[in-house]
Amino acid sequence: MKELVKQKYSEIALQDKENNQASCCGAGGCSTEVYNIMSDDYAAVEGYNPDADLGLGCGLPTQFAQIKKGDTVIDLGSGAGNDCFVARHETGETGKVIGIDFTPAMLEKARKNAEKLGFNNVEFREGDIENIPVSDDIADVVVSNCVLNLVPDKDAVLKDIYRVLKPGGHFSISDIVLSGVLPEKIQKAAEMYAGCVSGAIQKQDYLDLIEQNGFKNITLQKEKAIHIPDDILSAYLSPEEIREFNGILSVTVYAEKSTRPLHR
């Protein structure tokens, strides 16, 4: 599944923005693919850079992340750098932003965007978010936008987020979760997995997993229903199954690492 995701997002990274938006439903009103029909509009967000926005998110986690001047911020699944550049606006020249992605084509795109913007305190590292390539207790804030649902072992990601956060640090993560039963045909559909749907888990299970990993003050910052167009679902489901299909949500969740050591 990871190789599938890497391949699909490599293809997206290599497209120009206009073609990507048209093929992935960002601008043209088509619904032939599922990758960015869930994205929120960044246009009014300070620090936004259109060249870094591939429309692949499902929320605005940096808007809710309470980033302060001088913070060190880690973005998991940083893509072309969109949320990193918004985070950099908040943390300023005295802070640091580290983007983590395992798709070389995305990393190349992000690094070029950072060079064009002249940011010397934003860096992009290749790595798996189940094993984040940074030291322990380094981040004030972790953000991520529609990425954990693509990872088979979400528990491992949350454990590593806990590891890299400073005591008292926090995360703000936008993700896709479920409030209903996902049909088996959708669960098995590779295309829907890369589009963030079939890798999602139940909302309560998601929140429970965060709590089980020692996080405190867990807060649901935003929630919205996601509508998958019928012409996408028709590739997997019958008309009757489409009528019954619901329960996909985009959530933005905040949680804090305890200031005391976690004893496992």
Q: Residue 175 and residue 107: Cα distance in Å, rounded?
A: 21
Cα–Cα nearest to 226, from 204, 250, 243, 242: 250
Q: CB atoms < 10 A from the CB of 9, how many?
A: 22
HSE (CB half, 13 Å, CA atoms) of 227?
Answer: 5
**174, 145 Cβ separation under 8 angstroms:** yes
* Mode of pairing for the β-strands spanning 122-126 and 248-256: unpaired
* Per-residue confidence (pLDDT) for residue 158, from 0 to 100: 97
What 8-state DSSP symbol labels residue 208?
A: H
Name beta bridge partners: 152: none
221: left (phi over 0), alpha (psi -120 to 50) or beta: alpha
Specify if 230 maps to a domain: yes
| CATH at 220 | 3.40.50.150
**76, 61 Cβ separation under 8 angstroms:** no
Helix (H, G, I), strand (E, B) or coil at 65: coil
* Per-residue confidence (pLDDT) for residue 24, from 0 to 100: 39
Q: CB atoms < 10 A from the CB of 250, how many?
A: 22
CA angle 110, 59, 105 (to 5 degrees): 20
* Per-residue confidence (pLDDT) for residue 30, from 0 to 100: 43
Q: Residue 134 and residue 193: Cα distance in Å, rounded?
A: 27
Q: Which two tokens stand for residue 241?
A: 């199954």
Query: What is the Rg, in whole angstroms, of the alpha carbon atoms belonging to the chain?
Result: 18
Specify if 263 maps to a domain: no
Specify if 262 maps to a domain: no
Specify if 47 maps to a domain: yes
Residue by residue, DSSP assigns 30-45 as --S--SSTTPPP-TTS
* Per-residue confidence (pLDDT) for residue 9, from 0 to 100: 60
The whole-number mean pLDDT for each consecutive block of 10 residues of the chain, a chain of 264 residues, reads: 62 57 39 50 68 70 94 95 94 97 91 94 95 97 90 92 97 88 62 56 93 97 81 75 75 92 56
Instruction: Work out the end-to-end distance of the chain between its first and last CA atoms, rounded to an integer number of angstroms.
Output: 30
Specify if 261 maps to a domain: no
Q: Which two tokens stand for residue 2?
A: 């990871």
Specify if 157 maps to a domain: yes
CA angle 9, 157, 42 (to 5 degrees): 50
- For residue 139, the enclosing domain spans 2-256
- The number of distinct structural domains making up the chain is 1
Specify if 108 maps to a domain: yes
Specify if 264 maps to a domain: no
Q: Residue 248 and residue 227: Cα distance in Å, rounded?
A: 7
**81, 124 Cβ separation under 8 angstroms:** yes
Q: How long is the chain?
A: 264
